[in-house]
Amino acid sequence: EEFAQGVPLLNRIYMAHISLLPIITLLMVGLHLFYIKYHQLSSLPEAPEKSKNMPFTRHMAYLQRAGAGVFLLICLLALTIAPPLGEEPVLGLEVTKPPWQFVWVYALENLWVPFLVVAPPLIILFLVAIPFVDQNKERYWKKRPLAIVVLVGFILLFTCLIIWGKVTTMTHTM
């Protein structure tokens, strides 16, 4: 509570998000890439096949144990440490736009408010369906046209939503 007393709470939360989220994301991506290399889960497209393969069921069991451990740790922290709730909010109109990475959510809200509920499950279902739809065994990205088309489509979609969210005024239903 003594950290940055002269800075408003909203600014402190914003700075924590723009500082901590990218750092945590980079650390998690780095850890993910390290484990892929360490466990030899994915080799280079030109490399010959290795004989060391972990069965999928054993790998999933390991992931479930690790996930259960993280979930237990989060539950213990939630039960033992009270969250700092901050001061009472001031009544009035609060218009705060997030950083560019998250502004696409406001574009979806401007388009249709229930998108905020519908979009996340649709994105998750799409990600789950990718291995079933694109069953190309090829690892080299130039030989996977469907994956490239989907990737470019999503990049264009999110770029348009980000630009739209930046230039339009927000609806205040969130």
Closest residue by Cα to residue 31 from 1, 70, 72: 70
CA–CA distance, 165 with 103 (Å, rounded to integer): 5
For the chain, the first-to-last Cα distance in angstroms comes to: 28
Residue-wise pLDDT for 23-47, tens only, equals: 999 999 999 988 888 877 776 666 6
Closest residue by Cα to residue 150 from 128, 122, 132, 126: 126
CA distance to 78, 104, 117, 121, per residue, from 109 (Å): 31, 9, 10, 16
- Tokens describing residue 74: 């989060």
- Tokens describing residue 66: 């690790």
Residue-wise pLDDT for 117-137, tens only, equals: 787 788 889 888 877 887 777
Residue 172 reports pLDDT greater than 60 = no
Closest residue by Cα to residue 161 from 114, 96, 106: 106
pTM value > 0.75: no
